[in-house]
A and B are shown apart, each in its own frame.
Chain A
């Protein structure tokens, strides 16, 4: 009986999805909105080489703000649910090779993350990718040195400060009369250089720092509830 119900729900879902699938014949062109974003005057107005970054930071900047808020909320609720259990854990010692390699690799991975989000408007990448790479450096630190003092106060304050700067920069555009999250509050620069696209690299760097600190906080919460083994 239960299996029959499940199959019925699945069939209903398929019948909802099937028209979408059968009407798909491969896109032949961009939608109207994307054509507007990819028109010559708008590319010159935003001056960002990477169009995805331009969409994420400028055209759809409010979506990104909401997304960062959702991430903050999930981190807060996770912190509410997971209570810290023990400070020091007795663990099997890590091997010397792993520790030395981790010491060598953690700065390099962090630097790669920062590189990714600083160059977000020129090459593939940006705040979200760079933040995730920084969080993976933090995870390597947790695995290599489980008992090391980790000041989550630092990450919390970094996250709050970058969030504030992000909203402040966004509001600054509105104060200047250009619009919320407009990138023309800084000089636009020459197309294709590091200092171009106005405020996009600055805003995306703060988004990257915020996402990295947020994900590191979530990981730290999950680590701190582990018991001895």
Chain B
């Protein structure tokens, strides 16, 4: 099962990168970044999966003995947990930038922002 999810994660990363590089609309590029984020999270959680492991919540007596061989890896899950919240903050920041840019230039086309091009 982890093979299927990790393949999906890598394909979504590539889809996000494709959207970032080929689309012209700023909002569409931000959607690409959002997809990239989701793909990386899926890859990280798939790498934490251990065959036959249960979630790292020790609510049964028998889980308390020899815990390390019965659960899945908790560390990548904790990292992804914080990464998702940061992802929301960064997405909101990018959207605020896009809004300001649209107020200045009345356009969302990435080609119309040429001020820094030499």
Question: Footprint of B on A, CB under 8 Å?
Answer: 3, 6, 9-10, 13-14, 17, 21, 24, 26-31, 33-35, 37-40, 43, 49-52, 54-56, 60, 63-64, 67, 70-71, 74-75, 77-78, 81-82, 122-124, 126, 128, 132, 192, 211, 215, 218, 221-222, 225
A52 touches B78 (CB 8 A): yes
Q: How many A-B residue pairs have CB under 8 A?
A: 141
Q: Would you give the shortest CB distance from B12 to chain A, in whole angstroms?
A: 12
Interface majority SS (helix, strand, loop, mixed), chain A: helix
Residues of A within 8 A of B50 (CB): 27-30
B68 at the interface (CB under 8 A from A): yes
B82 at the interface (CB under 8 A from A): yes
Question: Footprint of A on B, CB under 8 Å?
Answer: 2-3, 6-7, 10, 13-14, 17-18, 21-22, 47-51, 55-59, 64-65, 67-69, 71, 73-75, 77-79, 81-82, 84-86, 88-90, 92-93, 95-97, 99-100
Residues of A within 8 A of B78 (CB): 52, 55-56, 60
A17 touches B13 (CB 8 A): yes
Contact of B49 among A3, A27, A123 (CB under 8 A): A27
Residues of B within 8 A of A39 (CB): 67-68
B75 touches A64 (CB 8 A): no
Residues of A within 8 A of B89 (CB): 70-71, 74-75, 218
Q: Would you give the shortest CB distance from B46 to chain A, in whole angstroms?
A: 8
Q: Would you give the shortest CB distance from A44 to chain B, in whole angstroms?
A: 9
The CA-CA distance from A29 to B86 in the complex, in Å, is 29
